[in-house]
Amino acid sequence: MITPPPAMQQALQELLGPSGYLTDPSSLQEYGRDWTRFTPPAPSAVALPGSIEDVQAIVRLARQHRVPLVPSGGRTGLSGGAVAGQGEVVLSLARMNRILGLDTVGRSLSCEAGAITGNVQAAARAEGLIYPVDFASSGSSQIGGNIATNAGGIQVIRYGMTRNWVTGLKVVTGTGELLELNKGLIKNNTGLDFRHLMIGSEGVLGIIVEATLALATPPRDPRVMVLGAPSMTAIMAILEQCQGALSLLAFEFLSDLALEKVINAHGLQPPLQARAPFYALVEFEDPAQGDDAPILTLVENCMASGWVADAVLSHSEAQRRSLWRLREDISETIAKWTPYKNDIATTVANVPILLERVEALIADRYNDLEVVWYGHIGDGNLHLNILKPESSSVDAFQQRCATVSRELFGILSDLGGSVSAEHGVGLLKKEFLTFSRSKTEIGLMREIKKLLDPDGILNPGKLIEL
Ligand code: MLT
Ligand code: ZN
Protein backbone atom coordinates (compact mmCIF):
# COMPACT_ATOMS: atom_id res chain seq x y z
CA MET A 1 0.00 0.00 0.00
CA ILE A 2 1.39 3.42 -0.98
CA THR A 3 1.19 6.51 1.22
CA PRO A 4 2.17 9.90 -0.22
CA PRO A 5 4.93 11.46 1.91
CA PRO A 6 3.87 14.40 4.16
CA ALA A 7 5.69 16.90 1.90
CA MET A 8 3.56 15.86 -1.07
CA GLN A 9 0.34 15.91 0.97
CA GLN A 10 1.10 19.41 2.16
CA ALA A 11 2.02 20.64 -1.32
CA LEU A 12 -1.26 19.25 -2.72
CA GLN A 13 -3.29 20.88 0.07
CA GLU A 14 -1.66 24.23 -0.59
CA LEU A 15 -2.11 23.93 -4.34
CA LEU A 16 -5.73 22.77 -4.38
CA GLY A 17 -7.27 24.13 -1.17
CA PRO A 18 -9.64 22.19 1.13
CA SER A 19 -12.26 21.50 -1.55
CA GLY A 20 -9.64 20.25 -4.01
CA TYR A 21 -7.86 17.79 -1.76
CA LEU A 22 -10.02 15.16 -0.07
CA THR A 23 -9.04 12.41 2.33
CA ASP A 24 -12.30 11.66 4.17
CA PRO A 25 -13.35 7.98 4.04
CA SER A 26 -16.53 8.52 2.05
CA SER A 27 -14.73 10.51 -0.70
CA LEU A 28 -12.01 7.85 -0.83
CA GLN A 29 -14.69 5.18 -1.31
CA GLU A 30 -16.57 7.16 -3.91
CA TYR A 31 -13.63 8.36 -6.02
CA GLY A 32 -11.62 5.16 -5.62
CA ARG A 33 -13.88 2.97 -7.68
CA ASP A 34 -15.77 2.74 -10.93
CA TRP A 35 -18.85 0.62 -11.68
CA THR A 36 -16.92 -2.63 -11.16
CA ARG A 37 -17.13 -4.24 -7.74
CA PHE A 38 -14.27 -6.73 -7.76
CA THR A 39 -11.46 -4.61 -6.23
CA PRO A 40 -12.09 -2.67 -3.02
CA PRO A 41 -11.28 1.03 -3.36
CA ALA A 42 -8.34 2.23 -1.24
CA PRO A 43 -6.84 5.49 -2.54
CA SER A 44 -4.86 7.65 -0.12
CA ALA A 45 -6.30 10.96 -1.36
CA VAL A 46 -8.37 12.58 -4.07
CA ALA A 47 -6.93 15.59 -5.93
CA LEU A 48 -9.40 17.78 -7.82
CA PRO A 49 -7.49 20.23 -10.03
CA GLY A 50 -9.22 23.37 -11.29
CA SER A 51 -6.92 24.09 -14.24
CA ILE A 52 -4.40 22.57 -16.63
CA GLU A 53 -1.61 24.15 -14.57
CA ASP A 54 -2.95 22.36 -11.48
CA VAL A 55 -2.86 19.04 -13.36
CA GLN A 56 0.73 19.69 -14.42
CA ALA A 57 1.73 20.57 -10.86
CA ILE A 58 0.06 17.40 -9.47
CA VAL A 59 1.86 15.23 -12.04
CA ARG A 60 5.21 16.86 -11.23
CA LEU A 61 4.68 16.29 -7.50
CA ALA A 62 3.68 12.67 -8.10
CA ARG A 63 6.75 12.20 -10.23
CA GLN A 64 9.04 13.82 -7.70
CA HIS A 65 7.69 11.64 -4.87
CA ARG A 66 7.11 8.53 -7.04
CA VAL A 67 3.45 8.34 -6.05
CA PRO A 68 1.07 6.81 -8.62
CA LEU A 69 -1.93 8.73 -9.91
CA VAL A 70 -5.23 7.27 -11.07
CA PRO A 71 -6.86 9.64 -13.60
CA SER A 72 -10.58 9.67 -12.96
CA GLY A 73 -13.64 10.81 -14.90
CA GLY A 74 -17.29 9.89 -14.24
CA ARG A 75 -16.18 6.46 -12.96
CA THR A 76 -18.79 4.63 -15.02
CA GLY A 77 -16.20 2.24 -16.47
CA LEU A 78 -16.71 -1.51 -16.38
CA SER A 79 -13.14 -2.83 -16.49
CA GLY A 80 -11.67 -1.32 -13.32
CA GLY A 81 -9.58 1.23 -15.26
CA ALA A 82 -10.39 3.98 -12.74
CA VAL A 83 -10.13 1.85 -9.61
CA ALA A 84 -7.55 2.97 -7.04
CA GLY A 85 -6.92 0.03 -4.73
CA GLN A 86 -3.28 0.54 -3.71
CA GLY A 87 -3.12 3.88 -1.91
CA GLU A 88 -2.75 5.86 -5.15
CA VAL A 89 -3.84 9.50 -5.44
CA VAL A 90 -6.98 9.81 -7.56
CA LEU A 91 -6.75 12.73 -9.95
CA SER A 92 -10.37 13.59 -10.65
CA LEU A 93 -11.26 15.96 -13.49
CA ALA A 94 -14.70 16.64 -11.96
CA ARG A 95 -14.02 20.35 -11.31
CA MET A 96 -12.73 20.93 -14.86
CA ASN A 97 -16.16 20.54 -16.42
CA ARG A 98 -16.72 23.68 -18.49
CA ILE A 99 -17.89 23.79 -22.07
CA LEU A 100 -15.42 26.26 -23.56
CA GLY A 101 -17.03 27.04 -26.90
CA LEU A 102 -19.27 25.84 -29.68
CA ASP A 103 -18.68 26.68 -33.33
CA THR A 104 -21.82 26.21 -35.44
CA VAL A 105 -20.02 26.86 -38.74
CA GLY A 106 -17.10 24.56 -38.04
CA ARG A 107 -19.51 22.24 -36.20
CA SER A 108 -17.34 21.60 -33.20
CA LEU A 109 -17.41 21.98 -29.45
CA SER A 110 -14.50 22.44 -27.05
CA CYS A 111 -14.70 21.46 -23.42
CA GLU A 112 -12.68 20.57 -20.37
CA ALA A 113 -12.19 16.86 -19.78
CA GLY A 114 -14.57 16.71 -16.84
CA ALA A 115 -17.57 17.93 -18.88
CA ILE A 116 -20.46 15.48 -18.48
CA THR A 117 -21.34 13.73 -21.74
CA GLY A 118 -25.04 14.60 -21.34
CA ASN A 119 -24.19 18.31 -20.95
CA VAL A 120 -22.11 18.23 -24.13
CA GLN A 121 -24.99 16.52 -25.95
CA ALA A 122 -27.44 19.14 -24.63
CA ALA A 123 -25.17 22.05 -25.66
CA ALA A 124 -24.97 20.64 -29.19
CA ARG A 125 -28.75 20.09 -29.33
CA ALA A 126 -29.38 23.69 -28.27
CA GLU A 127 -27.68 24.75 -31.52
CA GLY A 128 -29.57 22.23 -33.70
CA LEU A 129 -26.64 19.79 -33.79
CA ILE A 130 -25.74 16.54 -32.04
CA TYR A 131 -22.75 14.98 -30.35
CA PRO A 132 -23.68 11.47 -31.42
CA VAL A 133 -21.72 9.22 -29.08
CA ASP A 134 -24.39 8.02 -26.67
CA PHE A 135 -24.86 5.37 -23.98
CA ALA A 136 -26.88 4.72 -20.85
CA SER A 137 -24.27 6.34 -18.58
CA SER A 138 -24.15 9.65 -20.48
CA GLY A 139 -25.72 11.45 -17.50
CA SER A 140 -22.62 10.88 -15.37
CA SER A 141 -19.76 9.85 -17.66
CA GLN A 142 -17.24 12.56 -18.57
CA ILE A 143 -15.79 13.39 -21.97
CA GLY A 144 -12.19 12.82 -20.81
CA GLY A 145 -13.06 9.33 -19.59
CA ASN A 146 -14.96 8.60 -22.81
CA ILE A 147 -11.88 9.56 -24.81
CA ALA A 148 -9.47 7.67 -22.55
CA THR A 149 -11.57 4.53 -23.07
CA ASN A 150 -12.66 5.27 -26.67
CA ALA A 151 -16.25 4.75 -25.51
CA GLY A 152 -18.72 3.14 -27.92
CA GLY A 153 -22.40 2.89 -27.11
CA ILE A 154 -25.71 2.40 -28.83
CA GLN A 155 -25.19 4.14 -32.17
CA VAL A 156 -21.74 2.93 -33.22
CA ILE A 157 -23.28 1.22 -36.24
CA ARG A 158 -24.12 4.69 -37.55
CA TYR A 159 -21.60 7.07 -36.01
CA GLY A 160 -18.61 4.98 -34.94
CA MET A 161 -16.76 5.17 -31.62
CA THR A 162 -15.56 8.24 -29.68
CA ARG A 163 -12.33 8.19 -31.74
CA ASN A 164 -14.25 9.36 -34.82
CA TRP A 165 -15.38 12.55 -33.10
CA VAL A 166 -12.21 13.88 -31.47
CA THR A 167 -10.55 16.62 -33.52
CA GLY A 168 -8.35 18.08 -30.82
CA LEU A 169 -6.87 17.08 -27.48
CA LYS A 170 -4.84 18.69 -24.74
CA VAL A 171 -3.00 16.09 -22.69
CA VAL A 172 -0.60 16.30 -19.74
CA THR A 173 1.99 13.52 -20.01
CA GLY A 174 3.64 11.61 -17.17
CA THR A 175 6.44 14.18 -17.19
CA GLY A 176 4.02 17.07 -16.69
CA GLU A 177 4.39 18.39 -20.24
CA LEU A 178 1.32 19.69 -22.06
CA LEU A 179 0.68 18.32 -25.56
CA GLU A 180 -1.76 20.11 -27.88
CA LEU A 181 -2.79 17.53 -30.41
CA ASN A 182 -4.38 18.34 -33.78
CA LYS A 183 -5.96 21.59 -32.48
CA GLY A 184 -9.44 20.92 -33.88
CA LEU A 185 -8.27 20.60 -37.47
CA ILE A 186 -10.22 18.46 -39.91
CA LYS A 187 -7.21 18.19 -42.23
CA ASN A 188 -3.71 17.88 -40.86
CA ASN A 189 -1.27 15.57 -42.62
CA THR A 190 1.90 16.42 -40.75
CA GLY A 191 3.14 13.04 -39.65
CA LEU A 192 2.21 10.79 -36.76
CA ASP A 193 -1.11 11.69 -35.15
CA PHE A 194 -0.52 11.34 -31.39
CA ARG A 195 -4.17 12.13 -30.74
CA HIS A 196 -4.98 8.55 -31.67
CA LEU A 197 -2.38 7.18 -29.24
CA MET A 198 -4.17 8.96 -26.43
CA ILE A 199 -7.69 7.89 -27.43
CA GLY A 200 -8.27 4.54 -25.72
CA SER A 201 -5.01 4.71 -23.72
CA GLU A 202 -6.89 4.36 -20.40
CA GLY A 203 -4.87 7.01 -18.59
CA VAL A 204 -1.53 5.20 -18.86
CA LEU A 205 0.12 7.70 -21.25
CA GLY A 206 -1.29 11.05 -20.20
CA ILE A 207 -4.14 12.89 -18.58
CA ILE A 208 -6.64 14.32 -21.01
CA VAL A 209 -7.47 17.86 -19.88
CA GLU A 210 -9.35 19.40 -22.82
CA ALA A 211 -10.98 18.16 -26.02
CA THR A 212 -12.44 19.49 -29.24
CA LEU A 213 -15.26 17.34 -30.59
CA ALA A 214 -16.94 17.27 -33.99
CA LEU A 215 -20.73 17.66 -34.11
CA ALA A 216 -23.26 16.32 -36.61
CA THR A 217 -26.70 16.95 -38.09
CA PRO A 218 -29.48 15.29 -36.05
CA PRO A 219 -31.08 12.20 -37.61
CA ARG A 220 -34.44 12.69 -39.29
CA ASP A 221 -37.43 11.41 -37.25
CA PRO A 222 -35.89 8.46 -35.42
CA ARG A 223 -38.23 5.55 -34.76
CA VAL A 224 -37.74 2.35 -32.81
CA MET A 225 -39.02 -1.14 -33.43
CA VAL A 226 -38.69 -4.18 -31.17
CA LEU A 227 -38.94 -7.59 -32.82
CA GLY A 228 -39.20 -10.94 -31.05
CA ALA A 229 -37.01 -13.62 -32.64
CA PRO A 230 -36.64 -17.38 -32.09
CA SER A 231 -32.82 -17.49 -32.26
CA MET A 232 -29.68 -15.44 -32.65
CA THR A 233 -29.46 -16.70 -36.23
CA ALA A 234 -32.82 -15.04 -36.85
CA ILE A 235 -31.50 -11.81 -35.27
CA MET A 236 -28.65 -11.78 -37.82
CA ALA A 237 -31.11 -12.37 -40.67
CA ILE A 238 -33.24 -9.46 -39.42
CA LEU A 239 -30.10 -7.30 -39.32
CA GLU A 240 -29.39 -8.06 -42.96
CA GLN A 241 -32.96 -7.15 -43.95
CA CYS A 242 -32.85 -3.91 -41.96
CA GLN A 243 -29.44 -2.95 -43.37
CA GLY A 244 -30.91 -3.18 -46.87
CA ALA A 245 -34.20 -1.41 -46.23
CA LEU A 246 -33.62 1.20 -43.52
CA SER A 247 -31.25 3.99 -42.65
CA LEU A 248 -30.16 2.43 -39.36
CA LEU A 249 -29.18 4.38 -36.24
CA ALA A 250 -28.87 1.38 -33.92
CA PHE A 251 -29.34 -2.36 -34.05
CA GLU A 252 -29.28 -3.89 -30.57
CA PHE A 253 -30.29 -7.25 -29.20
CA LEU A 254 -31.29 -8.60 -25.80
CA SER A 255 -32.19 -12.00 -24.46
CA ASP A 256 -35.52 -12.78 -22.83
CA LEU A 257 -33.80 -13.05 -19.43
CA ALA A 258 -32.41 -9.52 -19.89
CA LEU A 259 -35.91 -8.27 -20.70
CA GLU A 260 -37.43 -10.10 -17.76
CA LYS A 261 -34.94 -8.58 -15.32
CA VAL A 262 -35.70 -5.04 -16.58
CA ILE A 263 -39.48 -5.32 -16.63
CA ASN A 264 -39.55 -6.93 -13.18
CA ALA A 265 -37.19 -4.35 -11.68
CA HIS A 266 -39.02 -1.32 -13.08
CA GLY A 267 -42.59 -2.60 -13.23
CA LEU A 268 -42.70 -2.17 -17.03
CA GLN A 269 -44.99 -3.84 -19.53
CA PRO A 270 -43.44 -6.43 -21.88
CA PRO A 271 -43.23 -4.81 -25.33
CA LEU A 272 -44.83 -7.77 -27.15
CA GLN A 273 -47.76 -10.04 -26.38
CA ALA A 274 -45.74 -13.18 -27.00
CA ARG A 275 -42.39 -13.63 -25.29
CA ALA A 276 -39.47 -14.72 -27.48
CA PRO A 277 -35.99 -16.07 -26.71
CA PHE A 278 -34.35 -12.95 -28.19
CA TYR A 279 -35.32 -9.45 -29.24
CA ALA A 280 -33.86 -7.03 -31.74
CA LEU A 281 -34.24 -3.33 -30.97
CA VAL A 282 -33.85 -1.38 -34.16
CA GLU A 283 -33.64 2.40 -34.46
CA PHE A 284 -33.81 4.05 -37.85
CA GLU A 285 -34.68 7.29 -39.62
CA ASP A 286 -38.32 7.25 -40.65
CA PRO A 287 -38.15 6.19 -44.31
CA ALA A 288 -41.51 7.63 -45.36
CA GLN A 289 -42.36 10.32 -42.82
CA GLY A 290 -45.07 8.56 -40.81
CA ASP A 291 -46.18 6.20 -43.58
CA ASP A 292 -45.60 2.80 -41.95
CA ALA A 293 -46.10 0.75 -45.13
CA PRO A 294 -42.40 0.13 -45.99
CA ILE A 295 -41.65 -0.84 -42.39
CA LEU A 296 -44.63 -3.18 -42.18
CA THR A 297 -43.57 -4.86 -45.43
CA LEU A 298 -40.14 -5.50 -43.95
CA VAL A 299 -41.63 -6.96 -40.78
CA GLU A 300 -44.06 -9.15 -42.75
CA ASN A 301 -41.21 -10.52 -44.87
CA CYS A 302 -39.28 -11.35 -41.70
CA MET A 303 -42.36 -13.07 -40.26
CA ALA A 304 -42.90 -15.07 -43.44
CA SER A 305 -39.30 -16.32 -43.16
CA GLY A 306 -39.83 -17.37 -39.54
CA TRP A 307 -37.32 -14.83 -38.17
CA VAL A 308 -39.86 -12.68 -36.34
CA ALA A 309 -42.78 -13.82 -34.19
CA ASP A 310 -44.13 -10.43 -33.16
CA ALA A 311 -43.10 -6.76 -33.43
CA VAL A 312 -43.91 -3.31 -32.06
CA LEU A 313 -43.15 0.04 -33.72
CA SER A 314 -42.92 3.40 -31.95
CA HIS A 315 -45.51 6.01 -32.93
CA SER A 316 -44.42 8.78 -30.59
CA GLU A 317 -41.28 10.12 -28.96
CA ALA A 318 -42.54 8.81 -25.59
CA GLN A 319 -42.99 5.33 -27.04
CA ARG A 320 -39.57 5.46 -28.66
CA ARG A 321 -38.00 6.34 -25.32
CA SER A 322 -39.88 3.67 -23.40
CA LEU A 323 -38.77 0.98 -25.87
CA TRP A 324 -35.17 2.16 -25.47
CA ARG A 325 -35.47 1.75 -21.70
CA LEU A 326 -35.86 -1.99 -22.17
CA ARG A 327 -32.34 -2.08 -23.54
CA GLU A 328 -30.65 0.84 -21.78
CA ASP A 329 -31.75 -0.15 -18.27
CA ILE A 330 -30.26 -3.66 -18.43
CA SER A 331 -26.79 -2.83 -17.17
CA GLU A 332 -27.98 -0.93 -14.11
CA THR A 333 -30.70 -3.50 -13.38
CA ILE A 334 -28.35 -6.48 -13.28
CA ALA A 335 -25.60 -4.63 -11.35
CA LYS A 336 -26.95 -6.00 -8.06
CA TRP A 337 -25.90 -9.52 -9.12
CA THR A 338 -22.22 -8.41 -9.40
CA PRO A 339 -22.15 -9.67 -12.99
CA TYR A 340 -18.99 -10.99 -14.57
CA LYS A 341 -18.93 -9.03 -17.79
CA ASN A 342 -17.62 -10.17 -21.13
CA ASP A 343 -17.60 -7.43 -23.74
CA ILE A 344 -16.52 -9.27 -26.86
CA ALA A 345 -16.47 -8.41 -30.55
CA THR A 346 -15.82 -9.94 -33.89
CA THR A 347 -16.45 -8.81 -37.44
CA VAL A 348 -20.16 -8.75 -38.20
CA ALA A 349 -19.56 -11.50 -40.78
CA ASN A 350 -18.13 -13.76 -38.06
CA VAL A 351 -20.92 -13.13 -35.54
CA PRO A 352 -22.99 -16.23 -36.48
CA ILE A 353 -20.06 -18.63 -36.02
CA LEU A 354 -19.03 -16.85 -32.82
CA LEU A 355 -22.56 -17.14 -31.47
CA GLU A 356 -22.78 -20.80 -32.28
CA ARG A 357 -19.56 -21.54 -30.44
CA VAL A 358 -20.29 -19.26 -27.50
CA GLU A 359 -23.79 -20.68 -27.04
CA ALA A 360 -22.27 -24.19 -26.85
CA LEU A 361 -19.67 -23.01 -24.32
CA ILE A 362 -22.33 -21.40 -22.13
CA ALA A 363 -24.54 -24.48 -22.22
CA ASP A 364 -21.57 -26.56 -21.15
CA ARG A 365 -19.94 -24.33 -18.51
CA TYR A 366 -22.66 -22.09 -17.14
CA ASN A 367 -25.70 -24.37 -17.18
CA ASP A 368 -26.29 -23.72 -13.46
CA LEU A 369 -25.98 -19.90 -13.70
CA GLU A 370 -28.07 -17.07 -15.10
CA VAL A 371 -26.51 -15.67 -18.28
CA VAL A 372 -27.81 -12.36 -19.55
CA TRP A 373 -27.04 -11.52 -23.18
CA TYR A 374 -27.39 -8.19 -24.85
CA GLY A 375 -25.33 -5.91 -26.97
CA HIS A 376 -24.67 -3.92 -30.06
CA ILE A 377 -24.97 -6.83 -32.43
CA GLY A 378 -25.15 -4.53 -35.45
CA ASP A 379 -21.46 -3.69 -34.98
CA GLY A 380 -20.37 -7.17 -33.86
CA ASN A 381 -20.28 -6.44 -30.10
CA LEU A 382 -21.87 -8.85 -27.62
CA HIS A 383 -22.22 -8.36 -23.87
CA LEU A 384 -22.28 -11.64 -22.03
CA ASN A 385 -23.07 -11.15 -18.34
CA ILE A 386 -22.83 -14.02 -15.89
CA LEU A 387 -24.84 -13.28 -12.76
CA LYS A 388 -23.26 -14.22 -9.44
CA PRO A 389 -25.40 -16.60 -7.39
CA GLU A 390 -25.88 -15.47 -3.80
CA SER A 391 -24.25 -18.67 -2.56
CA SER A 392 -20.89 -17.89 -4.29
CA SER A 393 -18.21 -15.64 -2.87
CA VAL A 394 -17.06 -12.84 -5.18
CA ASP A 395 -13.58 -14.39 -5.44
CA ALA A 396 -14.71 -17.94 -6.21
CA PHE A 397 -17.22 -16.64 -8.77
CA GLN A 398 -14.65 -14.44 -10.46
CA GLN A 399 -12.12 -17.25 -10.65
CA ARG A 400 -14.61 -19.63 -12.15
CA CYS A 401 -15.68 -17.08 -14.78
CA ALA A 402 -12.08 -16.15 -15.57
CA THR A 403 -11.35 -19.82 -16.31
CA VAL A 404 -14.29 -20.00 -18.72
CA SER A 405 -13.20 -16.68 -20.22
CA ARG A 406 -9.92 -18.27 -21.29
CA GLU A 407 -11.91 -20.73 -23.40
CA LEU A 408 -14.16 -17.97 -24.69
CA PHE A 409 -11.19 -15.83 -25.63
CA GLY A 410 -9.57 -18.81 -27.34
CA ILE A 411 -12.62 -18.95 -29.62
CA LEU A 412 -12.39 -15.21 -30.18
CA SER A 413 -8.70 -15.37 -30.90
CA ASP A 414 -9.33 -18.03 -33.59
CA LEU A 415 -11.81 -15.65 -35.19
CA GLY A 416 -9.57 -12.59 -34.88
CA GLY A 417 -11.98 -10.97 -32.40
CA SER A 418 -11.51 -8.66 -29.42
CA VAL A 419 -11.62 -9.46 -25.69
CA SER A 420 -12.82 -5.93 -25.01
CA ALA A 421 -14.94 -4.22 -27.62
CA GLU A 422 -15.81 -1.01 -25.79
CA HIS A 423 -15.29 -1.36 -22.02
CA GLY A 424 -11.49 -1.23 -22.18
CA VAL A 425 -8.84 -3.42 -20.57
CA GLY A 426 -8.28 -1.78 -17.18
CA LEU A 427 -7.67 -4.32 -14.42
CA LEU A 428 -10.21 -6.93 -15.37
CA LYS A 429 -9.14 -7.75 -18.91
CA LYS A 430 -5.41 -7.18 -18.52
CA GLU A 431 -4.52 -10.86 -18.12
CA PHE A 432 -6.38 -11.60 -21.36
CA LEU A 433 -4.83 -8.92 -23.55
CA THR A 434 -2.61 -11.46 -25.34
CA PHE A 435 -5.71 -13.10 -26.83
CA SER A 436 -6.29 -9.95 -28.89
CA ARG A 437 -2.91 -8.22 -29.21
CA SER A 438 0.40 -9.74 -30.28
CA LYS A 439 3.51 -9.80 -28.08
CA THR A 440 5.12 -7.32 -30.46
CA GLU A 441 2.20 -4.92 -30.11
CA ILE A 442 2.19 -5.18 -26.32
CA GLY A 443 5.97 -4.61 -26.29
CA LEU A 444 5.49 -1.47 -28.40
CA MET A 445 2.79 -0.23 -26.07
CA ARG A 446 5.26 -0.61 -23.21
CA GLU A 447 7.98 1.32 -25.07
CA ILE A 448 5.55 4.13 -25.82
CA LYS A 449 4.54 4.27 -22.16
CA LYS A 450 8.21 4.54 -21.17
CA LEU A 451 8.57 7.60 -23.40
CA LEU A 452 5.52 9.41 -22.09
CA ASP A 453 5.51 8.21 -18.49
CA PRO A 454 9.11 7.23 -17.70
CA ASP A 455 8.49 6.82 -13.96
CA GLY A 456 5.32 4.78 -14.39
CA ILE A 457 3.18 7.07 -12.25
CA LEU A 458 0.11 7.10 -14.54
CA ASN A 459 -2.48 4.45 -13.75
CA PRO A 460 0.02 1.67 -12.96
CA GLY A 461 -1.33 -1.87 -12.99
CA LYS A 462 -3.89 -1.08 -15.70
CA LEU A 463 -3.68 -2.11 -19.36
CA ILE A 464 0.13 -2.56 -19.48
CA GLU A 465 3.02 -2.55 -17.03
CA LEU A 466 6.34 -0.81 -17.59
C1 MLT B 1 -24.27 -1.43 -22.46
O2 MLT B 1 -24.19 -1.73 -23.64
O3 MLT B 1 -25.34 -1.41 -21.84
C4 MLT B 1 -23.02 -0.99 -21.78
O5 MLT B 1 -21.88 -1.34 -22.48
C6 MLT B 1 -22.95 -1.43 -20.35
C7 MLT B 1 -22.89 -2.89 -20.13
O8 MLT B 1 -22.39 -3.63 -20.97
O9 MLT B 1 -23.31 -3.34 -19.07
ZN1 ZN C 1 -22.31 -1.69 -24.51
The pLDDT mean for the chain works out to 97
- Residues 366, 285, single domain; the answer is no
Q: How far is the CA of 331 from the centre of ligand 1 (A)?
A: 6
- Residues 293, 267, single domain; the answer is yes
- Residues 91, 161, single domain; the answer is no
Q: For ligand 1, is residue 449 a contact (CB within 6 Å)? A: no
Q: Report the nearest-CA residue for atom 9 of ligand 1.
A: 331
| Residue 34 maps to a domain | yes
Residue-level pLDDT at 251: 98
Residue-level pLDDT at 290: 79
Q: How far is the CA of 184 from the centre of ligand 1 (A)?
A: 30
Per the structure, the complete domain to which residue 21 belongs is given by 6-95
For residue range 267-295, list pLDDT tens digits in order.
Answer: 999 999 999 999 999 999 998 887 899 99
| Residue 377 maps to a domain | yes
Q: How far is the CA of 44 from the centre of ligand 1 (A)?
A: 30
| Residue 445 maps to a domain | no
Looking at the structure of the chain, the number of domains it has is 4
Query: For the residues 74-78, what does the mean pLDDT come to?
Result: 97
Q: How far is the CA of 383 from the centre of ligand 1 (A)?
A: 7
For residue range 82-93, list pLDDT tens digits in order.
Answer: 999 999 999 999
Whether 466 shows a pLDDT value over 90: the answer reads no
* Atom nearest to 331 CA in ligand 1: 9
- Cβ neighbors of 159 (< 8 A, separation 6 or more) are 132, 133, 165, 216
CATH number, domain at 14?
A: 3.30.43.10
For residue range 207-229, list pLDDT tens digits in order.
Answer: 999 999 999 999 999 999 999 99
Query: For the residues 147-154, what does the mean pLDDT come to?
Result: 97
Task: Name the pLDDT band for 465 (thresholds 50, 70, 90).
Answer: confident
Q: For ligand 1, is residue 327 a contact (CB within 6 Å)? A: no
* Atom nearest to 343 CA in ligand 1: 8
Q: For ligand 1, is residue 226 a contact (CB within 6 Å)? A: no
CATH number, domain at 400?
A: 3.30.70.2740
277 by Cβ neighbours in 10 Å (0-12 / 13-18 / 19+) ranks as middle
- Residues 207, 105, single domain; the answer is yes
Whether 448 shows a pLDDT value over 90: the answer reads yes
Q: At which of 331, 356, 386 does a domain end?
A: 331
| Residue 287 maps to a domain | yes
- Cβ neighbors of 234 (< 8 A, separation 6 or more) are 278, 306, 307, 308
- Residues 356, 381, single domain; the answer is yes
For residue range 1-10, list pLDDT tens digits in order.
Answer: 999 999 999 9
Q: At which of 95, 126, 155 does a domain end?
A: 95
- Residues 166, 267, single domain; the answer is no
Residue-level pLDDT at 239: 97
| Residue 455 maps to a domain | no
DSSP 357-420: HHHHHHHHH-TTS-EEEEEEGGGTEEEEEEPPPTTS-HHHHHHHHHHHHHHHHHHHHHTT-BSB
Residue-level pLDDT at 319: 97
Q: How far is the CA of 3 from the centre of ligand 2 (A)?
A: 36
Residue-level pLDDT at 46: 98
| Residue 237 maps to a domain | yes
| Residue 127 maps to a domain | yes
For residue range 171-201, list pLDDT tens digits in order.
Answer: 999 999 999 999 999 999 999 999 999 999 9
CATH number, domain at 287?
A: 3.30.70.2190
- Residues 59, 114, single domain; the answer is no
| Residue 191 maps to a domain | yes
Q: For ligand 1, is residue 398 a contact (CB within 6 Å)? A: no
For residue range 349-385, list pLDDT tens digits in order.
Answer: 999 999 999 999 999 999 999 999 999 999 999 999 9
Q: At which of 331, 351, 386 does a domain end?
A: 331
Percentage above 70 pLDDT, the chain: 100
Q: How far is the CA of 277 from the centre of ligand 1 (A)?
A: 20
